Amino acid sequence: MKRVTAFIGSPRKRATYQAVQEFEKNLESYGEIEFEYVFLKDYKLDFCTGCCLCFDKGEEFCPLQDDRDVLLEKLYQSDGVVFATPSYSFQVTAPMKNLLDRMAFCHHRPRFFDKTFTAIVTYGIYGGDSIVKYLESMGQNFGFKTTRGCSLMTLEPRTESQQAKMSEKISQVSRRFFEEMMSQRPVPPSFMQVFVFRLSRTAIKLLLDENWRDYRYYKEKGWLESGYYYDVKLGFGKKLAGLLSDFIGKSMVKRRS
Ligand SMILES: Cc1cc2nc3c(=O)[nH]c(=O)nc-3n(C[C@H](O)[C@H](O)[C@H](O)COP(=O)(O)O)c2cc1C
């Protein structure tokens, strides 16, 4: 049994909710799934005050007392995670952005490597695809096994063929997500992911020390020495790209000091 949680950024139960319901139904037709809807509007999540304590000292030092850890726990307890949101002014809605801001320490200290992620975005007229890409990059930065999401134009009235096209898109997203969630293989990183990892760890190694949470986190995980976040075979090209990134990282730090 796999547990999937959908975080929904819409303040109402309409197009985005309906798309996620269809996604859920598809998943349940492939296998045994326990599915939870998390409507962000129902949780108390204050705005980040910008103190950076979560980055520097650790997330437990956040001065805000709200439901952040309830939501974080839901991420930890899931095998699969969906971020679903309407487009508001060409971006995710405010509750969804707030969730991303409040979880931003996960960009510094990625953690969800064994969990699958996707994004579902609804929009009225234009601009859904760039939001999907944005959410996919958030998923990747957090460490998730990120599968391609979709954007759905929800303007009404809809013809039968438009509705069928929408269902086909949701079906493809569901299939990709399910297959990745069931797969045991470590996802091979892209060149860009190797580059980002090696640059980050070089900067952390050279600029920080034990007083910083990121440094301790990387050290505990063995990331200050490893080729990537997790054990995965890197081909010759990616090993070379990694070494080059180490070199670039060192030169950047040297130039800065
Ligand atoms: C405040 C607001 C801003 C919106 N901004 C956009 C936008 O920039 N681009 C767009 O295509 N649709 C926009 N829409 C339309 C919604 O994205 C679209 O209707 C969506 O499917 C609504 O999802 P929901 O039914 O789950 O609330 C906006 C809607 C609202 C209420």
Atom of ligand 1 nearest to the CA of 153: 21
Q: Residue 5 Cα, ligand 1 centroid: separation in angstroms?
A: 23
pLDDT, tens only, 159-186: 999 999 999 999 999 999 999 999 988 8
What residue owns the CA closest to ligand 1's atom 28? 88
What residue owns the CA closest to ligand 1's atom 26? 16
Q: Residue 21 Cα, ligand 1 centroid: separation in angstroms?
A: 18
DSSP code, position 146: E
Is the Cα torsion angle 8, 1, 186, 59 positive or negative in sign? positive
Residues in contact with ligand 1 (CB, 6 Å cut-off): 10, 12, 14-17, 86-90, 122-127, 154
pTM tops 0.75, yes or no: yes
pLDDT, tens only, 36-47: 999 999 999 999
Given a contact cutoff of 8 angstroms between Cβ atoms, the answer to whether 43 and 125 are in contact is no
Q: Classify domain 2-182 at the CATH topology level.
A: Rossmann fold (3.40.50)
Annotated domain spans of the chain: 2-182, 191-256
